[in-house]
Amino acid sequence: MSHRRVEVAGGRTLAVDTLGDPHGRPVFLLHGTPGSRVGPNPRSSVLYRLGVRLIAFDRPGYGDSARLPGRRVSSAVADVEAIADALGLDDFAVLGRSGGGPHALACAALLHGRVSRVAALVSLAPRDADGLDWYGGMTPSNVREYSEVERGLHHFADSFQFRSRQIKDDPVSLIKDLVPELPPTDRTLVTDSGLRRMLLSTYREAFRYGADGWIDDVLAFTTNWGFKVEDIAVPTRLWHGADDQFSPVDHSRWLADHIPGAELYLEPGAAHFGAFKVMTEALKWAAGSAT
């Protein structure tokens, strides 16, 4: 693994890790919400076998990446492009999981000629998605989180900062708080020692300097994304666990109906954290190694 800092517009810097085969097919992995570049991903030996050069970075406000106040989902495009330029990459694939899904779709819609394929696992759909009950089937904690933003409650940022300090000091607390709302399949997954260790690492890194990235992600998801998914013109693969309550499955159904030619894979019995189990196959497809 190699680590570097990349300077982008406005003098900001982004923390970037590259893993796997340095001569392999480049694939950007966009982390969840909250999350960081050190989130769950396949082992380097697996990436070498796949022929994948994996590129992960902290979105602004997370980990070691400088905040970009007022960013939209589409703001990720300029950051990904700057990283690609710094690494000397002409074209690449993009994979986003959970909160990284919308950002990956933004790259596919707006980076014409550079993104070859895009995969979005357990992604949200736009807040203003026509005909979608955005909160339908969503777990109560997420409904509260997003609806507080939309009501403009002044304590929103303060509550997120307080919660981030708790999680940074005790990352296990976030998983403990999630467990009562998890379907059985996700409860089993988060008890796996390896996955649990990676989740704790990504949460600790995400909140290294506070909750700015988390706050800005939620604000970005609940306002105009800055692009239309209908403009995506590259091969698109969507995956969703049918029992997901954090990003309800109807979000991916809506995306599949509006992204030209998108392939949708719904897995019965799987839920939100099931995305980790299919990540290797998704990377294989994104790199062009699978059809």
Using DSSP's 3-state secondary structure scheme, residue 235 falls into coil
**Domain presence at residue 58:** yes
> Strand 236-241 relative to strand 263-267: parallel, antiparallel, unpaired?
parallel
CB 75 within 8 A of CB 107: no
| Within a domain: 291 | no
Domain that holds residue 146: 2-286
Please give the DSSP secondary-structure letter assigned to residue 123.
P
Q: CB 200: neighbour CB atoms within 10 A?
A: 16
DSSP-derived secondary structure letter, 207:
T
Pairing state between β 25-30 and 2-7:
unpaired
Q: Indicate which CATH number applies to the domain containing 250.
A: 3.40.50.1820
Q: How many CB atoms lie within 10 A of CB 10?
A: 8
Q: Please, are residues 161 and 233 in contact by the beta-carbon 8 Å criterion? A: no
**How many structural domains is the chain composed of?**
1
Per-residue pLDDT tens, the chain, 291 aa: give them.
899 999 998 899 999 999 999 999 999 999 999 999 998 889 999 999 999 999 999 999 999 999 999 999 999 999 999 999 999 999 999 999 999 999 999 999 999 999 999 999 999 999 999 999 999 999 998 898 888 887 766 668 888 888 898 888 888 777 777 788 888 888 888 888 888 888 888 999 999 999 999 999 999 999 999 999 999 999 999 999 999 999 999 999 999 999 999 999 999 999 999 999 999 999 999 999 544
3-state secondary structure at position 113? coil
Residues 6+ apart with CB under 8 A from 89: 26
78 occurs within a structural domain: yes
Determine, yes or no, domain membership for 200: yes
Per the domain annotation, does 215 fall within a domain?
A: yes
Q: Is-above-0.85 flag for pTM?
A: yes
